[in-house]
Homo-oligomer: A and B are copies of this chain.
Amino acid sequence: MRRDVFQAIADPTRRAIILMLVVGAMTPNAIAEHFDSSRQAVSKHLRILTECDVLSKEQQGREIHYHLNADKLKDIEKWLEQFKQLMAKRFDQLDTVLEQLKSKRK
C-alpha cells in the first residue's frame, strides 16, 4: 500500500481530521463526533494517517490521543515548490521566445 502524505490528504474526511488536529490532540471518540460515519470508520482513517506518518498516537490511560505531525505536510509544499519552479522556468523560456520575436521584428 502506498503510504505518503498525498495518500493521506486524498480523502476529504482525512483532510478534515488533519485540520481538526492542528489546534490540539484529540481522542478517536471526540473526532468521530464531528462526522456522520461510525467511530470505527474514523479509526480506520486514523490508522491510515498514522501509517502515513501524519499522525502520532499517545496512550493516556484508556484514551488515545492522536496528535498532528505537522512537519510531514511539508512534503506537499515541497512538491508544489518543484511544480512552481518548473512553471517559472517555462515562463522564462516563453520570455526567451518573446525576446527572439522582438529582435527579429527590428
Contact = CB atoms under 8 A, between A and B. Distances in A.
A70 B90 CA distance: 12
Interface residues of A, number: 25
B19 A10 contact: no
A15 interface: yes
B6 A2 contact: no
Interface of A: 2, 6-7, 9-12, 15, 18-19, 22-24, 70, 73, 76-77, 79-80, 82-83, 86-87, 89-90
18 contacts: A2-B12, A6-B6, A6-B11, A6-B12, A7-B10, A15-B79, A19-B82, A19-B83, A19-B86, A22-B83, A22-B87, A23-B89, A24-B90, A73-B80, A73-B83, A76-B76, A77-B80, A80-B80
